[in-house]
């Protein structure tokens, strides 16, 4: 009698999800063989019609960590490795006192206290994301929504980026290094996961653009895994090569085949941070260079829809709110324009660098 292959949960138990006559029946046991036997017995009872005649017994409510296991297992074919990695991180590091408790034994009024205790252990944004995930898990496991709770307010940090003069300085500092191609691709708007997915055999000689398709991300086991889908539908795109130093580095470092990024993502982050610090620039990584692309596009007054398409953002609002930073020189320029309208003398165009 064929049954699904058992999976081992993070708790150590073996788990089989049966679906019989539209009913979902979880079967767990510490012993793999015993789990298989129990699942076969349940399926045999259904086949013989005996189990249908019995009064169905409500299975015991899962613990929070078991509910997370089931939530991920039910969606394993649709969730990205990076998303699963994030869910496992919540399971391993957040709400550790609550994870072993059965969901039916956690009173609704307890959740505010649970959130308050966790707020002392992590950043507000981390807590918000973790609790949002737990809400979805509990809803999927019980059909009931968690009560509204008060979460600590988020402090939005200033995201480091390079001003237009600093971008030119960075390009000169990185152009002759082994990190030139991936760093300048990041400055052209690519995410580090997209850069990691690029292969030399897919980049023609002297290309006018780079085709971005696929991504390489870390999975829950801390292993790099390629996924064919990008972060969103607009992420698969053609990115024009507009930096002459990038064109030169592509031809200089070209290989017949293999990944363009031949080091780990963390090694690239470390290298870019070091180059910035050695040249007196704000300390940032590949994503900070992507921020700098959006800021430069704003500085050059490139239409937002075009910048959005090049950068692969899903909507203009996301790009404008999160990624676009206005350099101090731009603020002064607008102040001068308005002041000139009212007949006010121009201010000195001070070049104030963004905070690290």
Q: Which whole-number Å values give the CA distances from 116 to 65, 119, 125, 149, in the listed order?
A: 20, 5, 14, 9
Measured between alpha carbons, how far is 337 from 353 in angstroms, rounded to an integer? 21
> 201 and 244, same structural domain?
yes
List the domain range (segments joined by +) for residue 280.
Answer: 164-325
**Per-residue pLDDT tens digits for 222-240:** 888 887 765 556 678 899 9
* pLDDT for 42: 85
Q: How many domains does the chain have?
A: 3
**Per-residue pLDDT tens digits for 48-90:** 765 544 455 567 889 999 999 999 999 988 888 889 999 999 9
Q: Which residues, listed in sequence order, are joined to residue 203 by a DSSP beta bridge?
A: none
Is 27 a member of any domain?
A: yes
**Dihedral class, residue 317 (left if φ above 0, else alpha if ψ from -120 to 50, else beta):** alpha
> 305 and 213, same structural domain?
yes
Mean of pLDDT values over 269-284: 96
> 253 and 177, same structural domain?
yes
> 297 and 261, same structural domain?
yes
Is 342 a member of any domain?
A: no
> 221 and 261, same structural domain?
yes
352, pLDDT greater than 50: no
- With cut-offs at 50, 70 and 90, classify the pLDDT of residue 194: very high
Mean of pLDDT values over 16-36: 84
Name the residue among 217, 169, 180, 173 with its Cα closest to residue 196: 217
* pLDDT for 327: 64
* pLDDT for 335: 73
The whole-chain average pLDDT of the chain stands at 86
Mean of pLDDT values over 139-163: 86
Is 232 a member of any domain?
A: yes
* pLDDT for 156: 62
**Per-residue pLDDT tens digits for 296-313:** 888 888 888 888 888 888
């Amino acid at each position: 009698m064929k049954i699904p292959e058992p999976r081992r949960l993070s708790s150590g138990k073996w788990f089989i999800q049966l679906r019989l006559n539209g009913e979902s029946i979880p079967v767990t046991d510490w012993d793999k063989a015993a789990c298989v036997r129990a699942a076969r017995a349940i399926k045999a009872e259904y086949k013989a019609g005996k189990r249908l005649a019995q009064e169905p017994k409500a299975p015991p409510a899962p613990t929070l960590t078991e509910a997370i296991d089931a939530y991920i297992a039910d969606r394993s074919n649709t969730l990205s490795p990076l998303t699963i990695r994030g869910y496992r991180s919540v399971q391993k590091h957040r709400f550790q006192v609550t994870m072993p408790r059965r969901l039916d034994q956690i009173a609704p009024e307890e959740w505010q206290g649970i959130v308050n205790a966790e707020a002392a252990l992590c950043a507000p944004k981390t807590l918000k994301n973790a609790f949002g995930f737990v809400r979805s898990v509990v809803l999927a496991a019980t059909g009931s929504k968690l009560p509204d709770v008060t979460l600590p307010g988020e402090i939005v940090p200033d995201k480091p980026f390079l001003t237009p003069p600093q971008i030119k300085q960075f390009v000169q500092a990185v152009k002759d290094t082994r990190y030139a191609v991936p760093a300048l691709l990041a400055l052209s708007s690519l995410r580090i996961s997209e850069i990691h997915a690029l292969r030399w055999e897919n980049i023609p000689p002297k290309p006018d653009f780079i085709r971005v398709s696929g991504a390489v991300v870390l999975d829950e086991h801390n292993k790099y895994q390629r996924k064919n889908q990008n972060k969103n539908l607009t992420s698969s795109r053609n990115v024009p090569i507009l930096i002459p130093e990038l064109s030169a580095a592509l031809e200089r470092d070209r290989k017949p085949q293999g990944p363009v990024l031949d080091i780990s993502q963390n090694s690239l982050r470390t290298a870019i941070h070091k180059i910035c610090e050695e040249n007196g620039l704000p300390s940032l990584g590949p994503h900070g260079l992507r921020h700098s692309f959006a800021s430069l596009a704003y500085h050059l007054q490139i239409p937002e829809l075009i910048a959005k398409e090049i950068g692969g953002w899903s909507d203009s609002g996301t790009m404008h709110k999160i990624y676009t930073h206005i350099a101090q020189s731009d603020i002064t320029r607008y102040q001068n324009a308005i002041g000139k309208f009212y007949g006010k003398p121009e201010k000195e165009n001070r070049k104030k660098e963004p905070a690290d």
